[in-house]
Amino acid sequence: MVTQVTPFSTPALEVLELRKVYGDKPALDGLTLTVQRGCFFGFLGPNGAGKTTTIRLLMGLAPPTSGSMHILGRPMPEDHIAIKSRIGLVPDDTLLFDHLTGGEFIEFVGRMYGLGLPLSRQRAGELLQLFELDSAGRKLIGEYSKGMRKRVALAAALIHRPELYLLDEPFEGVDAVGARLMKDILLDQVAQGATIFLTSHVLEVVERLCDRVAIINQGRLVVEGAMQDLRSGSETLEDIFVRVVGGPAHGSESLDWL
């Protein structure tokens, strides 16, 4: 008897022995990871650990050297077109069109995902209001602050109601008010059943938002688990991070003149 796979019987992300080598240097070195649906998942690591490389592979923007990826039950990159239509992306470098207004960009993204013009325009206007960007009027994205660019990127990622969000440093450069707004919107998406895969260097935000956390270092997974299971006593996520990636020991030498 063949068991039929239902849309929600598979994990949101399933990565097995994933490797990506540039020249003779592995950016990812055998990453194995499973992210269940409906999870707010924090993916952490020091600079150069392989976080952005992982996002690029998951989006099909770069081919893996070896290993396998299944996203929303489908193999990547084999089913990349079907997968991409169900994903919302906020890249680290916010690749936006500087000569469009925020509304025009969000509308354009909606059209790229196959929404009709009237619906794309309607949702773009509603998202501008939701993210408190409607006051920008006809201002071009090239004139936006970094925080505004992050907000419009997240707004565009929402327009087609994706099942999975890949967010690479979405809060970088965002002020406290904007960050609170974005966090509330993301938490609401998880409450509605979406899955969020988040990279961030703001560990306090990850600790507050995420159900589960994975930490990688030099392309390898060093720890993964539920937030409450990772803590030892009064440890914060920052304490855990420094401990597992080999940060400076407490009481290390300092400069005499400081």
Tell me the per-residue pLDDT of 10-22, one tens digit each, with 9 for 90 and over: 999 999 999 999 9
Alpha helices in 37-175 (DSSP H): 51-58, 80-84, 102-112, 117-130, 146-158
Quote the CA–CA distance of 10 and 86 in Å, as a whole number.
Answer: 15
Taking all residues of the chain, what is their mean pLDDT, rounded to a whole number?
90
Per the model's pLDDT, the better-predicted residue between 3 and 17 turns out to be 17
What's residue 5's pLDDT? 42
Domains detected in the chain: 1-86+162-246 (3.40.50.300), 96-161 (no CATH)
Quote the CA–CA distance of 90 and 93 in Å, as a whole number.
Answer: 9
Tell me the per-residue pLDDT of 206-243, one tens digit each, with 9 for 90 and over: 999 999 999 999 999 999 999 888 877 778 899 889 88
Q: Residues 109, 156: contact at Cβ < 8 Å? A: yes
Distance in angstroms between the alpha carbons of the first and the last residue of the chain: 72
pTM of the model: 0.90
Percent of the chain with pLDDT strictly greater than 70: 93
Mean pLDDT of 155-162: 96
